[in-house]
A and B are shown apart, each in its own frame.
Chain A
């Protein structure tokens, strides 16, 4: 219980730190931040100026600490102010449109990446001397050092521009009636390429993790014993080795869920996929500060909550943690 309380306190504190960063960033700009921001934008109507001031809590003469308090209360209530690029839409409504796309795309990709990567990792560790195994490891290591967005650009060039198999960007066909079966098919078609990019870039991570764990487990005495006993290799591979080697990956998987909101940012930007990443891209380019900050906060919050959940999962899985020794 002490463990739980400590982790929960940590969750609250890290959330507070994220919100505090968010609060102080605009105030670090010398002078009136709203005015400074306006200077960078051209032809801004007065009501927008007011909404920027309101968004940053600058429309009052309150002392900083009161502004901070108001900001915290508003944020916790989900009130992120008004979007500048989609004036006068509230930021929360803009995010409500983007979030489902991201969660759908990234949720599936996270699962694909984990399953494919871990399976490959088991195989690569088991057949370590095999040429193909070391080639696969090398290939994914190479892929991992690619900039993700560039991988996306190359895939768009080959599959969308040259071969014209997939669309260049977006998330659904605008010609179909929203919700019809054809529309859902178009969602699959539009999502395929971004999904492939994200999965491809995450498979390597899981594979290397699983492979290293598996190699360490395979060196254990009980594996040698199992082999000496003459147990079927399949059984040793999956029930003895992989089962134990997958444990660290499982906690990693739980944490990875936190990156569902923020993990595909750049891929979404490249594919103009209307999720959180593309929204952030548009916010950055339009200098839509309230939207940008809200997106940061939501990404941070989801990562922090997922970490907390992973900690709790460990508490149930690992008796040492559960019994409170550490």
Chain B
């Protein structure tokens, strides 16, 4: 069923374009350590060169013969190597050059390396939040839609309550209170504010499907609930689940960048958001350093566009009216 869904997705031009962009970005993130020119937090390049190798001849220092059968010798082998270590500190806030195609930041870190490495955090946080939220939302939606009664009332009520509480200010306030170590806190904060919308959408989809004839028929035939849920309801929800996954991932990437930009979040990690934070903190605009703040935003936008394109495709697949006449 998932295979069929991806087949249709690839057949659609827009979603194919989105999938390709996303694949390239994910590959870049996965192989980041291999393709970066320098370590992202390094402010220097170190080179050690052997300039003189002077292997002296073995020299016998002493020979001692305590008896006829034994000879004890003490040798020294002098190996003198002369090395020259060159530490070249990168220039601070440098313009793009051959060594640093996107220049360097205030700490002398190579910006291209930071950009490539930063894709790891940004894309991982986006996709992880999307996955986490979708699993939670789908579980809640199935529980609510399938168990009904009090469970449905409670889940629905809390979904509606948290749906209307504005997410961004809440994220900022929570983010300022809890200590930001690693990237787990930011995923939790993003998930905490983005579960209500997909939950509500998925729940109503479960409710609709539950009353479809083929599901009712299975129930009358006495099929097990697990069979109905996993074999009849879920396969029909793939497109909405996937589009919600990409939607949540998109807003997670944007929100993460926003939070990091304003300094809520772990500013010690290297991500697209934190590059922008440091760019702003160092007045990149007033220095005219477009190479500092432009590329991270473009990459965020590119990732976002990939998600939007995929969702456009999903929309066209599930809503034929939107297709071109």
User: Is A296 interfacial (CB-CB < 8 Å)?
Assistant: yes
Nearest chain B CB to A60 CB, angstrom units: 22
CB <8 Å contact, A284 and B264: yes
User: Is B51 interfacial (CB-CB < 8 Å)?
Assistant: no
CB <8 Å contact, B322 and A142: no
| Alpha-carbon distance between A154 and B280 when the two chains are bound, in angstroms | 12
Task: Classify chain B: how many residues form its interface, as a range.
Answer: 35 or more
CB <8 Å contact, A149 and B258: yes
Nearest chain A CB to B248 CB, angstrom units: 14
Nearest chain A CB to B319 CB, angstrom units: 8
CB <8 Å contact, B263 and A285: yes
User: Is B286 interfacial (CB-CB < 8 Å)?
Assistant: yes
CB <8 Å contact, A281 and B254: no
139-183 of chain A: CB within 8 A of chain B: 141-142, 144-151, 153-154, 156-157, 161-162, 168
Nearest chain A CB to B169 CB, angstrom units: 5
Give 1 or 0 for each of B34-46: 1 = CB within 8 Å of chain A CB. Answer: 0000000000000
CB <8 Å contact, A295 and B297: no
CB <8 Å contact, B325 and A13: no
| Alpha-carbon distance between A89 and B169 when the two chains are bound, in angstroms | 22
CB <8 Å contact, A25 and B174: yes
Q: Among the listed B160, B258, B321, B325, which residue makes an inter-chain contact with A129, where contact means beta carbons less than 8 Å apart?
A: B325
Nearest chain B CB to A173 CB, angstrom units: 19
Inter-chain contacts of B322 with A (CB < 8 A): 212, 215
| Alpha-carbon distance between A146 and B258 when the two chains are bound, in angstroms | 11
User: Is A280 interfacial (CB-CB < 8 Å)?
Assistant: yes
Q: What residue of chain A has the Cβ atom nearest to residue B280's Cβ?
A: A153
Q: What residue of chain B has the Cβ atom nearest to residue A137's Cβ?
A: B312
Interface of A is mostly: helix
Interface of B is mostly: helix
Give 1 or 0 for each of A281-295: 1 = CB within 8 Å of chain B CB. Answer: 100110101001101
231-265 of chain B: CB within 8 A of chain A: 250, 254, 257-258, 261-264
> What total of A-B pairs shows CB separation below 8 Å?
133
Q: Given A149-B261, A265-B168: A128 and B177 within 8 A (CB)?
A: no
User: Is B92 interfacial (CB-CB < 8 Å)?
Assistant: no
A-B contact pairs, 29 of them (CB 8 A): A10-B160, A14-B161, A14-B165, A17-B161, A25-B177, A145-B304, A145-B307, A146-B301, A147-B254, A147-B300, A149-B261, A153-B293, A154-B293, A157-B293, A161-B285, A168-B286, A259-B166, A265-B169, A266-B168, A266-B261, A269-B262, A284-B262, A292-B173, A296-B172, A300-B165, A300-B166, A303-B165, A303-B166, A307-B164
- The residues of B with any CB-CB pair to A shorter than 8 Å are 160-162, 164-166, 168-170, 172-174, 176-178, 250, 254, 257-258, 261-264, 276, 280, 285-286, 288, 290, 293-294, 296-297, 300-301, 303-305, 307-308, 312, 321-322, 324-325
- The residues of A with any CB-CB pair to B shorter than 8 Å are 10, 13-14, 17-18, 21-22, 25-26, 28-29, 128-129, 141-142, 144-151, 153-154, 156-157, 161-162, 168, 212, 215-216, 219, 259, 262, 265-266, 269, 280-281, 284-285, 287, 289, 292-293, 295-296, 299-300, 303-304, 307
